[in-house]
Amino acid sequence: MKGVILCAGKAKRMKPFSSTLPKTLLPVANRSLLEHCINRMTDIGIEEIGIVMNPQQKSIVDYLASSNLPVTFHYIFQTEQLGVAHALASAQEFVGTDSFLLLLGDNLTAEPLETLIAASGGDKSALLLAEVDTPQDYGIAEISDNRIVSIEEKPKRPRSKLAVIGTYLFDANIFMAIQHIQPSARGEYEITDAIQWLIQHGFPLAYSITKEPYTDVGTLQRWLEANRWMLSRQLGNEVQVGAQTKLENCVLKGPVIIGNQCTLKNAVVGPYVSIQDGTELMNCTIENSICLKKARILDIPSPISHSIFGQHVTLQGAHMQESSLRFILGSDSHLIFPASGGKGDTE
């Protein structure tokens, strides 16, 4: 069985971070969303994966070329972003006539893919569903007599709370379905419309409902949520420290993951903090946050929480007397406060 991962989205809601990195390369627990998706596929023995991407996303190719992951990648370029079904249609030649697994590259779920394969029974397409609190934001499945009887994208009056959460097993009939659908009101070819076409034309469709953690990493808040539960799942209350990282007079409250060649001094870190390689933390307290590569957080007396620091960020000397500070700083930005009085420097 082959795998397909969709990575070509524009990720406007993830700016400023998606301005310098494709969304699927943003880290959760210090691994990119894309790597989490790939690992789910390789865990069940998939050896060929099609990556549907924008031709301008060269950083995805570079990232995978240096990853040493045990899989062969096929790069499929989508020059226009016209919806999930449109992206999937571009992978038809790669897939051929076989069944295949499809993942959305910005979705993260702890449910193993074996669950979906078992639900399919070997001869049906299958969807992974999860109960959500805001069904108006998702493609929603209506179930009757243990069958999916309808799928509707972002319904104003949802018929259930069971959302389609970006994990699919399809056979080649999905491509025929895509050829028969029209753009939605928002101008996109919706995968939910293609699935509804399969239902209406009598093609068997199985499903499995997961209760495992799941996050559509489509906003900065959901990115932090995904980082939190992934750290808990991987580490429990433990702390993981990378090679050549230096710790001096630090308190680490797990779950915390710290990359390689970092320097931490006089810092209280955790819980729920991920720190990528080359980061420097000094004289600060931080929890429930994400630090990308080579960020520098120095001399911040008030606690930092629910923050995201991009690559090569510098935050220094914020002397606000607050119970908690929150920062969203995109890559290469600097926010430096003076020691006393005067104006700080920002970029």
**Per-residue pLDDT at 27:** 95
Contact criterion met (CB below 8 Å) for 228 and 244: no
Name residues whose C-beta falls within 8 Å of residue 68's C-beta, 6 or more positions apart in sequence. Answer: none
Closest among 106, 98, 82 to 171, alpha carbons compared: 98
Cβ proximity of 85 and 151 under 8 Å: no
pLDDT at residue 121 in the model? 87
Alpha helices in 109-186 (DSSP H): 114-120, 173-179
Query: What is d(CA 127, CA 324) in angstroms, rounded to the nearest whole number?
Result: 41
The per-residue pLDDT for 339 is 65
Assessment of whether the complete model's pTM goes beyond 0.75: yes
Q: For each successive 10 residues of the chain (347 residues), what is the average pLDDT?
A: 89 83 93 95 95 91 90 91 92 93 93 93 89 89 91 90 94 95 88 94 93 90 96 97 98 98 98 98 97 96 95 86 85 82 50
Q: Out of 3.90.550.10, 1.10.260.40, 3.40.50.1400, 3.30.2420.10, select the CATH number for domain 2-221.
A: 3.90.550.10
Q: Is 173 exposed, middle or buried (0-12, 13-18, 19+ CB in 10 A)?
A: middle
State the pLDDT at residue 340. Answer: 55
Q: Which CATH superfamily is domain 236-346 in?
A: Hexapeptide repeat proteins (2.160.10.10)
Measure CA 149 to chain center. Answer: 29
Whole-number pLDDT of residue 345:
53
Name the residue among 177, 10, 195 with its Cα closest to residue 89: 177
Annotated domain spans of the chain: 2-221, 236-346
